[in-house]
Amino acid sequence: MPERLVYLSPVQWDSFAQRPHKFVQWWHGATGGEVIWVNPYPARLPRWTDLARLRQAPALVGEAIPAWLQVLHVSPWPLEPLPLTSALLTRLWQPVLQRIEDFAQMPGTSLVIGKPSRMALHVARSGWFASKTYDAMDDFPAFHQGRAGRVMAGVEQHIVAHMDSVITSSSALAAKFNVLHPRVVKILNGLDPAAVPGHLFARRPTTPPVLGYVGTIREWFDWALVTQVAEAVPAVQVRLIGPLDHPCPHPLPSNVECLPACSHGAAIEHMAGFSAGLIPFRVNRLTRAVDPIKYYEYAALGLPVLSTAFGEMETRSSAEGVFHIARDEDALPALMAALSWQIGGHAVRNFRLNNSWAARFGSAGLLHGSLSQQATVAPEGI
């Protein structure tokens, strides 16, 4: 009998394909089972800055909904951090909870929770599932401040207490949850080799060299570092591509170019025109838990990576093709080393294969309750 999966996602289905999308696609391919995907809802009180985001036209970047997957939407009542609202919220969630309960009546249905919330805790406490896993993709409480952060941290701990296992996407997250749960497995992020055409490798222009970044620009983006690099090496062009949720607070140097968000296929084509890939993130509590997918996409094209020493990137100080930069330090030696670095096509193809999502999830024993007791880290180096 085919298995079933309920996945409470940290991201919308119609967003750019990320780890959650790749997980459910891998799971369906391995089991042939059906999936309910529950879109996330606001877990904090509204902010004035949300108004600007609401005014932006939605980007149609998501994938089509396959026949084996149902997407459930939760009413966006931003009441979660407020006390004495659990009963009201449970009533508001009832249509979604009933759909989940009905779907989970088939024996062997599994639950994966990808983001802490009160609704996720309600589902975790139920007796509907044969196995329950918490997939920690980020340090979610670190996204919030004040009461919202405290509430989310408490809810997360209660959810973990009801799980059979925890999987994490970084070393810092594995360390965090090792003190909360006896069964924690590290599964780093990866890439979809199918998204990178087999013949495509970075052209790496030299006149002028292009330092490129693709991704959302949020509060963890280090504008001061980007400005420092651009001013120090005016012959280099810095190209930033993606949604600008956190604009630079001061005028940018003339050799910094900002381009709007685009489809994933177009993003890969942009990356192929870089000389080196940039990951200029601040080093803080939030980024400490991050294993950036950008690293894998850059490396899968044969690009050197110029990155701050945050999160999992800090552990790659000796990795082939990774060059660390930092604010208020001379970036020129790392930049020159990155631009002169070379790699062969065979090594790049091996990197794509060894760091695929299928290799990540398939080696961890996630199916049929057979999760490996050992931390699983597929080869990364190129």
pLDDT value for 52: 47
Range in 12-21, 103-112, 121-130, 141-150 the model is least confident about: 141-150
pLDDT value for 146: 79
Confidence of residue 363 (pLDDT cuts 50, 70, 90): confident
Q: Which fold has domain 4-190+356-369?
A: Rossmann fold (3.40.50)
- Identify the residue with better confidence: 86 or 208: 208
- Identify the residue with better confidence: 58 or 162: 162
Evaluate whether 4-190+356-369 and 193-351 have a shared fold: yes
* Choices 3.20.20.60, 3.40.50.2000, 1.10.3720.10, 1.10.760.10: CATH for 193-351: 3.40.50.2000
Q: Residue 59 pLDDT > 80, yes or no? A: no
CA-wise closest residue to 17 among 193, 264, 188, 362: 264
Question: Which residue stretches of the chain are H helix?
Answer: 19-31, 49-55, 86-103, 118-125, 146-161, 171-178, 223-232, 264-272, 285-288, 293-300, 311-314, 332-340, 345-354, 357-362
Confidence of residue 185 (pLDDT cuts 50, 70, 90): very high
Provide the terminal-to-terminal Cα distance of the chain, rounded to the nearest Å.
41
Distance CA 84, CA 246 (A): 34
Q: Residue 131 pLDDT > 50, yes or no? A: yes
Confidence of residue 54 (pLDDT cuts 50, 70, 90): very low
What residue spans define the domains of the chain? 4-190+356-369, 193-351
- Identify the residue with better confidence: 2 or 57: 2
pLDDT value for 326: 96
Q: What percent of the chain lies above the pLDDT cut of 70?
A: 87
* Average pLDDT over all residues of the chain: 88
pLDDT value for 373: 44
Per-residue pLDDT tens over the stretch 266-291: 999 999 999 999 999 999 999 999 99
Distance CA 234, CA 225 (A): 14
pLDDT value for 51: 45
Per-residue pLDDT tens over the stretch 302-352: 999 999 999 999 999 889 999 999 999 999 999 999 999 999 999 999 999
pLDDT value for 81: 60
Listing from the earlier edge strand, what are the strands of the sheet with 256-259?
A: 256-259, 237-241, 210-214, 276-279, 305-307, 322-324
pLDDT value for 377: 45
CA-wise closest residue to 43 among 3, 5, 89: 89
Average pLDDT over residues 132-150: 88
pLDDT value for 104: 96
pLDDT value for 80: 65
Residues with Cβ < 8 Å from 367, sequence gap 6 or more? Answer: 27, 30, 31
CA-wise closest residue to 352 among 263, 268, 275, 242: 268
pLDDT value for 46: 47
